[in-house]
Structure 1
Amino acid sequence: MLRWLKHLALLLTLCLALLACNRVSLAYRNLDIIIPWTLNDYLGMNSEQKGWLSERLKEHLSWHCSTQLPGYVDWLDRLQQMVETNQVTDAALQARILEAKQAIAQTAREITPSAVELLQGLNDQQVNEMKQAFAKDQRVHQEKYLNAPLALQIKHRIERMDKRLDDWLGPLNTAQAQRVVAWANALGEQNQQWIANRAHWQAQFSAAVEQRHNSDFAQRIETLLVDRETLWTPAYRQAYTNTEAQARSLIVDLMADSTADQRQHLLKKIDKMRGDFSALKCLKVAAQPNAPPGA
């Protein structure tokens, strides 16, 4: 359940808008297949619920493509301009991050009524299955990100970042590689706060769903999906502020030390993503005010 909700609110924005998917058109066209499968990881749905979800998903995807994707193209234009003019600054990155957060909130708010309706229709067995899935999720994340010594966590953090950067910039030079190491060490025990806050959110979500027939249920779910930052633990709020600041500083420094070839590599990746967006049929239709339905 959590993954489905986050896919609608986050995958459609972060994964697509923040350059997480190399093949935008392929990922977007297959979301109607991907999302029900990921939902099954957290909740066993009956045939009626699956049919209902399928129809709602089509509506949400249509809304998202026609109203949100054009803004992503503009977002990519601003990102490209930052790189081309060598203006990858902390202030510019803060502006792009704020725009992304606003897009996430808008999408989350759009899907909240559907989430409320689906959750209110769950039976007690399904709620228990969801809680068990949350518990399993916590065990998996504990094993993957916390059980290792801090030095090994940092090593893995460096490896994951190196892999991402190689995709978007190409091979790092010595100064850039050293900067990644410094960034990874600066985050310290961030994994601990992140996973603790994740469990905290899941507990609040479970508590809300257990009271899904109460009059304040819709508001509680909206807070959990749209205004989730207000529910963060104090420790994670502090850790997140540091994490975001460290990430901005890393990007600024990496770009300052970047070569012409690296910048060209990045611009090609951005341009490729813009092309993938433009190739989406729903986006083409949305750009034609007089296009007939189903064109």
Structure 2
Amino acid sequence: MPLRLPKALLMLIGFALALTACSRIDLAYRNLDRLVPWSLGDYLDMNREQKQLLDERLKAHLAWHCKTQLPGYLDWLDRVQVMVANDAVTDENLRQRTVEARQAIGRVTEAITPSAAELLKGMNDSQVAEMREAFRKDIDKRQKEYVDTPLAKQVENRAARMRKRLEPWLGELDAEQRLRVMSWSQALGDQNRQWIANRAHWQQQLVLAMDQRASPSFEPRLAQLLQRKESLWTPEYRQAFQNTERQARSLLVDLLKQSSPAQRQFLQQRLSKVRADFSELKCLKG
């Protein structure tokens, strides 16, 4: 299997965010420093020094994240629970929760940028060439999966993915809610094309930066790519992204309005479970 060094970068950036998708957050968090290097072995032929650097940085960032960032996540979850309990899931409140979540992501990205820079600066020419090839294959695969299918099929698949994401939080959707999910997917139209084109654009900018990884300009450029990536968005994707966020907020507002008492109780229980898993982490207790 060809190496995919970008996986190391993506895992380093996304380690904290991926936790929210785990059904056993406590278990995933405690073992993340071991799970991440192991999974990288499937994609990346790192040398001993690179593996050691990644392992050391992951442990340090995980400790920092748990002690300094998780308390804020608990507060954020409290605000979400109050919002749901008070039937206050509105566009404005969702917009505020999104801003808060984006700020949390920004703090993590800023914290790991120096480690990402050190890891990437240590790549040799062969690894950079394989990065370029991995990016090409990534775009080809996504193009075939998300764009080279009829638009009607794209809409259908997108709705199915959204239902799969929603049901662990709301339980089984009723007929009216399923129709609302379908209308949401239709409203996004051909956004897959803009998303993949923008992804390819970002990857190209990273490869160009890697060609200058020995120069003083590399770290500032990498910081822009990781921390201010929206400044590099294509105009088409910027417009599509704004529509995507607007449609997502509208979908959630409508689904909660359509939800049954049992679904709202299910959601509150799920949120409580997530919060409990986080709050029981030993690192939060010193």
Return the TM-score normalized by structure 1.
0.92
TM superposition shift of 1:229: 0.6
Q: CA–CA distance in 2 between the matches of 1:172 and 1:283? A: 36
Question: 1:124–1:41: structure 2 CA closer, same or farther, 3 Å change rule?
Answer: farther
Moved more, 158-167 or 218-227: 158-167
Q: CA–CA distance in 2 between the matches of 1:196 and 1:180? A: 25
Q: CA–CA distance in 2 between the matches of 1:269 and 1:108? A: 27
TM superposition shift of 1:251: 0.1
> 2:191 matched to which residue of 1?
190
Contact 1:90/1:248, CA 8 A, preserved across alignment = yes
> 2:113 matched to which residue of 1?
112
Contact 2:12/2:116, CA 8 A, preserved across alignment = no
TM superposition shift of 1:38: 4.7
> 2:16 matched to which residue of 1?
12
> 2:231 matched to which residue of 1?
230
Gaps of 5+ in 1: 286-295
Give the AA of the match of 2:240.
A
Q: CA–CA distance in 2 between the matches of 1:229 and 1:90? A: 22
RMSD between aligned alpha carbons? 1.4
> 1:100 matched to which residue of 2?
101
How big is each residue's C-alpha offset from its partner over 1:131-150, in whole Å with a ceiling of 9 and x where there is no partner?
Answer: 11111111121122112111
Say if 2:53 is the partner of 1:52: yes
Q: How does 1:1-295 map to 2 (within 5 A)?
A: 1-13=5-17, 15-16=18-19, 19-40=20-41, 43-285=44-286
Moved more, 248-257 or 114-123: 114-123
Give the share of equivalent positions with the same residue, in percent.
55
Moved more, 120-129 or 241-250: 120-129
TM superposition shift of 1:65: 0.7
Q: CA–CA distance in 2 between the matches of 1:177 and 1:267? A: 21
Q: CA–CA distance in 2 between the matches of 1:78 and 1:3? A: 33
Q: CA–CA distance in 2 between the matches of 1:22 and 1:193? A: 32
Q: CA–CA distance in 1 between the matches of 2:137 and 2:14? A: 22
Gaps of 5+ in 2: none
Moved more, 100-109 or 131-140: 131-140
TM superposition shift of 1:88: 0.3
Alignment length, in residue pairs? 282
How big is each residue's C-alpha offset from its partner over 1:257-288, in whole Å with a ceiling of 9 and x where there is no partner?
Answer: 11100000000100000111012111221xxx
* SS in structure 2 at match of 1:30: helix
* SS in structure 1 at match of 2:21: coil
* SS in structure 1 at match of 2:214: coil
